[in-house]
Amino acid sequence: MSRIKFYNTMTKKVEEFVPNVEGKVSLYTCGPTVYHFAHIGNLRCYIMEDILDRTLRYAGYDVKRVMNITDVGHLTSDADTGDDKMVEGAKREHKTVMEIAKYYTDAFFSDCEKLNIRRPDVIEPATNCIPEFIHMIEVLLEKGYAYKAGENIYFDTSKLDKYYTLTNSSDDDLMVAVRDDVDEDVNKRNKADFVLWFTKSKFEDQALKWDSPWGVGYPGWHIECSCISMKHLGEKLDIHCGGIDNIFPHHTNEIAQSESFLGHKWCNYWFHVHHLNEKGGKMSKSKGEFLTVSLLESKGYDPIVYRMFCLQSHYRKPLEFSYDVMDNMKSAYEKLLKTAARIKENANDGEVDNGVFASFKDRFLDALGNDFNTSMALTVLYEALKADTNNATKYAIIKDFDTVLCLNLDKEVEKEGIDSELEAYILKKIEERKEAKKNKDFATADAIRDELAAKGIVLKDTREGTTYTIG
C-alpha cells in the first residue's frame, strides 16, 4: 500500500497515490512566465511543489520532474485576451524578449536555489518546442477538435462530452469572468474555446514569430504544457501541479487538448497550491510592495525563514503574508538552528538507536504522506529534538528529515551557528595575512591579527594552516 495520500483536484478527494509504473513517478510542473521576477506568492507554489517532489523521493519513488519556462504566448488574461506578457516586459525594460526571458529565468532559478527548491530534472522553454506544438495542432485539426477562424487556430470545446473536468464552472461563469475592458474574441465559436495558434491577425508587434502551416505566428499558452509534458514524460502522466489559478482555464484546456490528441486519459493526479495573499488581497507584481526574495533578504531575512513560513501552513489553505509572522518565524528558526548545532556538537555520545530513529521516521512520513501536512512534520521534528534519546540518534533524525524540509539544519550546524557573512570576512582576512607574511610585511600581518582580536576572533597558526575561534 502506498504511504502517500493527497488531494486530487480531479476527483475532489484525498486519494492514495498509485503511479502508472510501480516505483516510478512522472511529475509535471507549470513553470514561471519569465517577464518579471517571481513574487514570493509564486514561490510559495514552488516550495510546496518541492515538498511534493522531495516527499515522493523520500518515500522511495524514482521521480522524473519536468518544468516548462513560459517565454512566449502567455497573455495578460489567461483567456487569450490582453497583451503578451513577454512583449510587455520587453517594452518596460527596453530589451528584446529573449534578453528578458534569459534574465528572469536565471533570476527565478537563483531564487529557487536560495529557497532550497530542487532543480527539476528537465527544464524546457516553450520556444524550444515549436515543431511539437505545430504537430499537436495539426493532429487536433485532423481529428476535428480544432478550427481556423480569423487566421487563428482555436480548440473547439463543444466537441467534448465534458470540458469542465477540474471545476464545476460553466459557460455562464465564463461570461462573468470576461473583463469589461477587453473585447471579446468574435472568432470563437463557443465562449470556452481557446487559441492554439495565433497568426499576424493579432499583435502586429509580437517579437517572436514562427512559420506554420497556417501562416507566420506563435503558439497559444496552453499548448506548451501538454506538448512539453508528453515530450519528456510520455502519454501517461502521474501528477501535474500548479497554483490554484491554473485550474481554470489553463489546466482545463491542457486536459481538453491532450486527451483529444491522445484519445485516452492523460493525467491521474492534479495537485494545486493555494495562494499567498497580502492583507489587501491577492499578491500582484504591479501593485503595492513587490515582494521578492531579494526584498526579504534586504530586510534581513534568510530566505529559508520564508520556506519555514510556508511549511508552517497547509498548502490547501490560503496564507496571508505579514512581517510580524516572518519575525516570529525568524526567531523560531534561529532557535532551531542553535538546538541542532548543540546536538551536532555532542553527536558522538553513542550509537544511533535504530528503533527510535525508525519510529520518528515513520511518524514523519505519516505526516507528509497525509496530504503533505508539513506543519505536523515540523512538530515531529521538534518532538525528536526533545526526545529521551542520545544526540547521535537526534542528529541522524535531523539530517534525515532535512532531506525533505531543507531548512539547512545540518549545513548551518556545520558552521556552528556562525553566519556566512562573518565567516567570509574572517577567511578573507586570514588570506590577506598569509599574503602579507609571504611578502615579509609583518606589520600588516600583525595589524590583521589585532583587528580580528578586537572583534573577539582569535587566530591560531598550525602546521595545516591558520584556524580561528570566536568568543
How far lies 198's CA from each of 141, 157, 313, in Å?
A: 15, 17, 41
Reading phi first (left if > 0) and then psi (alpha if -120 to 50, else beta), residue 387 is in beta
Among 27, 276, 311, 404, binds ligand AMP (CB under 6 A): 276
CB 106 to ligand AMP: min, Å? 15
For position 267 contacting Zn ion by CB under 5 A, the verdict is no
Site string for ligand AMP, 376-395 (x = CB under 6 A): --------------------
Q: Give the single-character DSSP code of 159.
A: G
Q: Which does 369 bind (CB under 5 to 8 A by kind): ligand AMP, Zn ion, none?
A: none
Distance between CA 58 and CA 389 in Å, rounded?
24
**326 burial level (CB within 10 Å; 0-12, 13-18, 19+):** middle
44 binds ligand AMP (CB under 6 A): yes
* Residue type present at position 338: K
Q: For the segment 213-242, give every residue that binds ligand AMP (CB under 6 A).
A: 242
Cβ proximity to ligand AMP: between 273 and 337 the closer is 273
101's grid cell: 526571458
| CB neighbour list of residue 366: distance below 8 Å, 6 or more residues apart | 3
Vertex 60 angle, CA 56 and 63, to 5°:
50
Torsion of CA 221, 8, 381, 296, to 10 degrees: 30
Sign of CA dihedral 85, 91, 96, 102: negative
Among Zn ion, ligand AMP, none, what does residue 276 contact (CB within 5–8 Å per kind)?
Answer: ligand AMP
Q: Is 33 an interacting residue with respect to ligand AMP (CB under 6 A)?
A: yes
Q: Which stretch binds ligand AMP (CB under 6 A): 40-48, 340-348, 368-376, 440-448?
A: 40-48
The one among 191, 222, 240, 275 contacting ligand AMP by CB under 6 A: 275
- Amino acid letter at 22? E
Helix, strand, coil % (nearest 5) of the chain?
45, 20, 35
Residues 10-49 that bind Zn ion (CB under 5 A): 30
Kindly tell me which of 33 and 127 has the beta carbon lying closer to ligand AMP.
Answer: 33
**Binding residues for ligand AMP restricted to 355-374, rule: CB under 6 A:** none
Q: How far is the CB of 355 from Zn ion (least distance, A)?
A: 45
225 contacts which partner out of ligand AMP, Zn ion, none, CB within 5 to 8 A by kind? Zn ion
| Alpha carbons 301 and 42: distance in angstroms, whole number | 18
- Of ligand AMP, Zn ion, none, which one sits near residue 42, judging by CB under 5 to 8 A according to partner kind? ligand AMP
Residues in 55-94 that interact with ligand AMP by CB under 6 A: 70
- Give the nearer residue to ligand AMP in terms of CB position, either 44 or 429: 44
Q: Tell me the per-residue interface mask from 210 to 229 with Zn ion, x by CB under 5 A, - otherwise.
A: ---------------x----
Identity of residue 441: D
Residue 195 CB-density burial (10 A; 0-12 exposed, 13-18 middle, 19+ buried): buried
Q: Residues, the chain, total?
A: 471
Nearest to 292 by CA among 321, 318, 328: 321
**Listed ranges 38-46, 232-240, 376-384, 448-456: which one lies at the site for ligand AMP (CB under 6 A):** 38-46
Residues at the contact surface with Zn ion, assessed by CB under 5 A: 30, 225
Residues at the contact surface with ligand AMP, assessed by CB under 6 A: 30, 32-33, 41-42, 44-45, 70, 242-243, 245-246, 273, 275-276, 283
